[in-house]
Amino acid sequence: MDDQNELPASPTQSAPTLARRLALYFTISIAGLIADLWTKWYMFAELGLPYESTGVDWWVIDEFFGFQTAVNQGALFGIGQGGSSLFALFSVIAFVAILVWFVRGEAWKSLFLTICLGFITGGVLGNFYDRMGWWHGDQIHPDYAYGVRDFILFTYKDYVWPNFNIADCLLVCGALLLIIYSFRYEDKKKAADTDDERETDAQADVTAET
């Protein structure tokens, strides 16, 4: 059984290669990065920094879904405010670890993993760009320096979900896909182990009969 859960290539379809899967992986990552950076640039150009406006500037669905700029100098849900440098370092470590897993760990053999890791890398790079401060100039308020730009807002009555961006969406989607993959992999591994045990028992029975 293939460890990476790939179906065998058909006679008319060439087997996947590292070069092709790397191309797909980087295509997904770069597309995600571009989508994240462009939407951040557009929303902040339209709505400005948080201090330049009050309230929600752009409702798509009143009192539920809209766009409002925010700058997060921490991690998910605002945890670790002021730790942009540390989180930027984590981003580098995560990127290197993903590449090692993809190439040396042969994750590239799985199309599903290739897509998952492409999503996650695009999200990591998008937020890394912001944490390096490359989106703003030298003249920036300390509350926004080296922070991640967020603009997507969901609210329900008095509850307000923390603002997020496309990079966060990519990270969450990639993580959920990895969870799904882990369950699929475990199920198939258990099935394979069961088949091996049955085959071993059958061979033992044949040996005993002879």
> In the prediction, which pLDDT does 6 show?
53
Q: Is residue 169, in this structure, part of any structural domain at all? A: yes
Q: How confident is the model at residue 42 (pLDDT cuts 50, 70, 90)?
A: very high
pLDDT of 113: 96
User: Are the CB atoms for 28 and 118 separated by under 8 Å?
Assistant: yes
Domain-embedded: residue 87: yes
User: What is residue 141's predicted lDDT score, i.e. its pLDDT?
Assistant: 87
Q: Please confirm, yes or no, whether 62 is among the known catalytic residues.
A: no
Residue 93: its pLDDT value, please? 97
Within a domain: residue 201?
Answer: no
Q: What is the mean pLDDT of the chain?
A: 84
Type of residue at 52: E
Question: pLDDT digits over 150-203, tens only?
Answer: 999 999 988 999 999 999 999 999 999 999 998 876 656 555 445 444 454 445
- Which residues span the domain enclosing 182? 18-196
195 is catalytic: no
Q: Is position 208 within any domain?
A: no
- Residue 202 in domain: no
User: 71 is written with which tokens?
Assistant: 């700058």
Top-ranked range on mean pLDDT: pick from 12-21, 33-42, 48-57: 33-42
In the chain, the number of structural domains is 1
- Comparison of pLDDT for 185 and 105, the residue scoring more: 105
Bridge partners of 191, per DSSP, are none
CB-based contact 122:28 (threshold 8 Å): yes
Beta-sheet strands, E only, within the chain: 58-61, 65-72, 148-156, 159-164
Q: Is residue 68 part of a domain?
A: yes
Predicted confidence (pLDDT) at residue 206 exceeds the cutoff of 50: no
Given the residues 3, 36, 138, 150, the one annotated as active site: 150
Higher pLDDT, residue 200 or 118:
118
Query: What is the end-to-end Cα distance of the chain in Å, rounded?
Result: 30
Instruction: Select the more confidently predicted residue: 206 or 131.
Output: 131
pLDDT of residue 156: 93
pLDDT at 183: 86
In a domain, 152, yes or no: yes
Residue 143 domain-assigned (yes or no): yes
Per-residue pLDDT, averaged over 88-96, amounts to: 96
Q: Which of 2, 62, 143, 168 is catalytic?
A: 168
Tell me what pLDDT residue 57 has. 72
128-150: average pLDDT: 92
Kindly report which listed range (19-23, 57-61, 165-169) carries the lowest average pLDDT score: 57-61
